[in-house]
A and B are shown apart, each in its own frame.
Chain A
Amino acid sequence: MTLSPDETIMFMIWGIPVNATIFYTWIVMAVLTGASMLITRNLRPDVPPNRWRTALEVIVQGIQSQIEEISQGPSRHLLYFAGTLFLFVAVSNLLLVVPGFEPPTSSLSTTTALALSVLVAVPLFGITSRGLGGYFKTYLEPSFIMLPFNIISEFSRGISLAIRLYGNIMSGAVIAAILLTVAPFFFPVVMDLLGLLTGMIQAYIFAILATVYISSATKPANPSTTQKDNS
């Protein structure tokens, strides 16, 4: 039994091994992109929306409203980033019910990559919003003594994001695999159902936390809000 799909080599492309993590990631990407292309291919203002397009609109607008609630303003770039995070993690975890499918989010490499992307996105969005000086000035707040703590906080947030998602998804998959050997007919189904729930929750948490981190970096300093948070 392998704990990580990184160790499973699916096939080789020009001598480069493609492991299960990358392979199933491509499947998730294909599913998301294919479904989006299929639904939005005939999207014109004069064509009334069908039920699939309406479902996509509900999902996209739901994500957008959540992001706007947190960031206190419209931001399409943040939607592209955090929405993709949510959809990728959610679809990866939902495909857990497909027999033989190993969610890429059960690989620490995937969650680390996602956490790294958040880690890079936070300063990028911050610099874009506040400018270079404005962003790095936040590391010195409320005083320069807090600089090392702020840097540690920044990295620990990324690490906690990666470990939380990996631990939840991997543990669910591992527990289901163990129960499959002990009681192959009933418990794995229950655990898979539970895994679906925790998978959706983890996707939501991951995307929300990423949005919060990015929003806190882009938001201008508000003394009253800071005071309220500290209290």
Chain B
Amino acid sequence: MSIDWITVAAQLANFLALVWLLKRFLYRPILDGIDAREAEISERMQVAVHAKEKARAAEADYRAQLSTLQSEQASATEAVLRKAEEEKNALLAEAHDRVERERAAWAAHLNDEARAFTAKMHRAGGHALLELTRKALTDLADDTLEPRIAAHLGRKIAAMDTELQRAAGKPDEALVTSHEALPRSVQGEISATLRERFPDLNVRFETSAAMAPGLSLSLGGAQLSWTVDTYIDGLDALMADQLASGPDAMGGAR
């Protein structure tokens, strides 16, 4: 065990050289690299923190925008719903009005048709009654209707003589209107009946196709009719009275 001082000196130099070499090629690059990486990481962390703050601010901004949009959407939806409800109500009211109008028009139309049908039925019934009466009179009594009507008119005039004279005043002319031309004998009979009350009376006979079968007497201010229509109207009034009285009244009538 001995110390070679030359080797000691050489080893000292070697060691110092190694310190310099390792400082140059190991410690400084490694430590500088670590420092640079740490600085880069720190910088990135700062950037990340900044980005995070920006993201939070943007998130808050977007949340506020979203909230505003949602409230706007809710109010817009509410307005649209309200408008739709109003339009629906208006359309429903309009539809109801139109339906009511159509129903009224339809009811009026039905009434018109009913009236027309009733008139038609009256005319048809009158004709049928007239023909039936004619036929019955001809077949059973060998007679015609017109003289019987004229006779009946004479009896009616006699029954309401006072009232007729008061209503007619002092007439110069009497107009007798019928659906068909009356036979001469019937015209003479009617003229005679009237001249018994009004001696200077000029009696004129006319026909009217629009008029129902029967007679109509126009004497001054008085008007007297005896036609199938008035007869059927009388029947209608009778039936209406019977219907209004109820079933008991009808049963009683039966």
Contact = CB atoms under 8 A, between A and B. Distances in A.
Contacts of B16: 117
A29 B21 contact: yes
Contacts of B27: 60, 76, 79-80, 83
A109 B21 CA distance: 22
B21 A33 contact: yes
Interface in B3-28: 3-5, 7-12, 14-19, 21-23, 25-27
Contacts of B18: 29, 32-33, 84, 88
B2 A4 contact: yes
Contacts of B2: 4, 6, 108
Interface stretch (B33-41, B112-120, B224-232): B33-41
A156 interface: no
B31 interface: yes
A180 interface: no
Given A6-B7, A57-B30, A22 B14 contact: yes
Contacts of A97: none
Most buried by A among B1, B5, B26, B34: B26
B221 interface: no
B29 A43 contact: yes
A40 B37 CA distance: 14
A160 interface: no
A108 B19 contact: no
Given A56-B26, A57-B30, A80-B23, A45 B8 contact: no
Contacts of B40: 45
A182 to B, nearest CB: 23
B37 A6 contact: no
Interface string B183-225: 0000000000000000000000000000000000000000000
A109 B31 contact: no
A45 B37 contact: yes
Interface size class of B (residues with CB under 8 A): 20 to 34
Interface size class of A (residues with CB under 8 A): 35 or more
A113 B11 contact: yes
Contact of B34 (A3, A57, A88): A57
Contact of B22 (A22, A36, A109): A36
A110 interface: yes
Contacts of B1: 3-4, 108
A14 to B, nearest CB: 14
Nearest to A20: B7
A137 B25 CA distance: 37
A66 interface: no
Interface string B68-104: 0000000000000000000000000000000000000
A112 interface: yes
A25 interface: yes
A112 B3 contact: yes
Given A33-B22, A36-B26, A19 B34 contact: no
Contacts of B23: 80, 84
A79 B29 CA distance: 14
25 contacts: A22-B7, A25-B14, A29-B18, A36-B22, A36-B25, A40-B25, A43-B30, A45-B40, A49-B33, A57-B34, A60-B26, A60-B27, A76-B27, A76-B31, A88-B15, A104-B11, A107-B11, A109-B4, A109-B5, A109-B7, A109-B11, A116-B8, A116-B12, A117-B15, A117-B16
Interface of B: 1-5, 7-12, 14-19, 21-23, 25-27, 29-31, 33-34, 36-37, 40
Closest 3 CB pairs of A and B: A113-B11, A36-B26, A109-B7
Given A36-B25, A88-B18, A112-B8, 14 more contacts: A4-B1, A19-B4, A29-B17, A29-B21, A33-B22, A33-B26, A36-B26, A37-B25, A40-B25, A43-B29, A81-B19, A108-B2, A109-B5, A113-B11
